Amino acid sequence: MEPAWHPLSALHLAEPRSFVTSAVLRRLLARGGRATLIYSGDRMWPTLKHGQSFVAHPLPAGGAPPGSTVVISPEGIPDVARVVGTGPEGVQVVCDADPSPPMIVPHAQMLALAALPAGSAGRTHRAIRRLAIDLREALQAGPDAAQDAASTVQAKYEALAPFYARTATVQLEPPVMEALRRAAPPGSRVIVAGSGAGWECFALEQQGCAVKGIDFAPSMVELAQRESRNRASTVVFQQADLRSHSEPDGSVSAVMFTFDVYSFLPERAARVALLRRMHRWLRPEGALLLSARRLHSAYRRILFTAQWLAALARGGPPSGTARAWGDSHTRWITTEGAICRSFVHHFSDDAIRRETREGGFQAGAWIGGHCVLTKLS
């Protein structure tokens, strides 16, 4: 079972309310022998509920026994999980509402013992809990209230910009880079839609392209501009709304959407209008690399149908317009521990083909997370 909404989890200090780091937790345990933490998210539900506090203790000398809950630090980010086994490579752990296979955590990434009640770690139980959470999200939740659903996406990336500053450089998939080389040889002009921290832009610049990155979130643009100065890069970054942004006709060899950015644009009419403008920006032989959330599983189709019907029953989003099938949300956790929901639209492959054709493009093959679009004559 693949959850429709990715399991969330984060640990916060009680005072001051902020994300806890591995180094801080180790210092707290060394100083006082225990630490009170606050759990955010639903990955350990119902053992830990969102906003619930718990006490972390130093690990026992013999390690954490199977069935116990521990604070781990995979990739340097503290989290809570349940021990299901041990081995020479590390400890096997799962989360109580995450049906994913057990994860092996090296002993060095085990931080503390969490004083929590025993619970079932069976995969069937975890899948049932995940189904309950997915149903709750489908029937009761949606993007945070806003007149423009796109502003919920902007709020997410404004808040998370500091964390993107610490991410590793993004490497474009070789097939994506090859498609861009064919459409935009060295010296060509390329637009990156949803440029974020700028990593894709810098990768394209290294291929000899003249690159412009466009992003909705001012903090992300500022972050990219700072990195550009550090690199002495010539990439141009601009804060703009893609739904109203313009470029000179015939001035661009390729447009590349970063992952899922097309799905962050509410309303079909606005998306089609954007494609028609990009059609004018592109040279005759130019290409557009589109990335969007795609639906493949029957499970998700059922859930999003339930969400669509529930939204219609509530009268649609705050603007009063009827929600389109496939309109949904992603979830993220703030520094203070609140769960927020930002807009995202899910597409079937047929819906993408129809929408892009209306925008003046022929949808080609999918390469990784991108579909190559060429201009219709």
What is the CATH number for 124? 2.10.109.10
How do residues 95-106 score in pLDDT, each as one tens digit? 999 999 999 999
**Average model confidence (pLDDT) for the chain?**
92
Query: Are 132 and 162 contained in the same domain?
Result: no
Closest residue by Cα to residue 54 from 80, 72, 77: 80
Q: How far apart are CA 66 and CA 121, in angstroms?
A: 10
Average pLDDT over residues 209-220: 97
| pLDDT of 171 | 74
Residue 336 lies in a domain: no
Q: What are the structure tokens assigned to 188, written together?
A: 């060509």
| pLDDT band (50, 70, 90) for residue 322 | low
The total of structural domains in the chain comes to 2
Tell me which amino acid residue 165 is: A
Same domain, 211 and 359: yes
Read off the pLDDT of each residue in 83-101 and give the average, rounded to a whole number. 92
Average pLDDT of the residues in 129-135: 96
Per-residue model confidence as pLDDT tens digits over 284-295:
999 999 999 999
Q: Which domain holds residue 167?
A: 150-294+348-375
Percent of the chain predicted with pLDDT > 70: 97
Within-domain flag for 185? yes
| Residues 45, 51, 56, 59, CA torsion sign | positive
**Domain end position, chosen among 140, 161, 194:** 140
**Residue type at 291 in one-letter notation:** S
Q: Three-class SS of residue 227?
A: helix
- Return the closest-CA partner of residue 124 out of 148, 104, 152, 96: 96
- What is the average per-residue pLDDT within 349-354? 96
Q: Are residues 168 and 194 in the same domain?
A: yes
| Arithmetic mean of pLDDT, 78-107 | 93
- Residue 104 tokens, joined: 């092996």
Reported in sequence order, the residue ranges of 194-239 that DSSP labels E, i.e. its strands, are 210-215, 236-239
CATH code, domain carrying 226: 3.40.50.150
Q: Are residues 208 and 92 in the same domain?
A: no
Same domain, 108 and 156: no
More confident residue, 171 or 65: 65
Mean pLDDT, residues 308-317 taken together: 82
Residue 323: inside a domain: no
Domain boundary among 117, 140, 163: 140
- More confident: 29 or 89: 29
